[in-house]
Every structure is written in C-alpha cells, then in structure tokens.
Amino acid sequence: MPTRCSSGTSSKRQSFANDLGAPERWAMTDNLNQSKGDGDPSAWQPPLNHCLYARAWVQVNYHWGLTLQSSEKSALQGMLATC
C-alpha cells in the first residue's frame, strides 16, 4: 500500500511502517513486489482484485491522513468504476 509517508514526522513514518492493527498494506509475492516497486496505483495495478486493492489503498490513505496525487486519484477512480 502507500509507501509515501515521508512528509510526516519520523515517529509517524515509523508508526505507519509498523502498525498491524490499522488498515493494512498488502504483502505481495516476490515477483509482484518486484514489479510494483514503490509505484502507486497510477504506475502499478495488481493483475487481479482491482476493487479490493483500490478500496484498501483509499482506506489506508484516509486512516493515515495521506493525500492523493491527481494521477493516483484518477487510477483509483478507474479501478473503482469497475467494481
């Protein structure tokens, strides 16, 4: 899920990275993780489960108060329109 928590404080970034109780980022297989890199939904989308992925991305962003870039928002809207 979102990896760009760099604008926050060091403690917020650490909390984001280690929080397993809040809405979660997803673990990926090695091959998917390598293809995804640190790309957001405008740069990478999973081969399956677009709806679940997009909903989870939005939920994590909302929970942590992260903003969406316009390209990211457009990609998420496109994925969610297919749900």
Nearest to 2 by CA among 51, 49, 63, 52: 63
Higher pLDDT, 3 or 82: 82
Is residue 6's pLDDT more than 60? no
pLDDT higher than threshold 50 for residue 77: yes
Digit-coded pLDDT (tens) for 11-20: 777 777 777 7
70-80 and 50-64 are packed helices; what angle lies between their axes, rounded to 10 degrees?
140
Q: Please tell me the predicted confidence (pLDDT) of residue 33.
A: 55
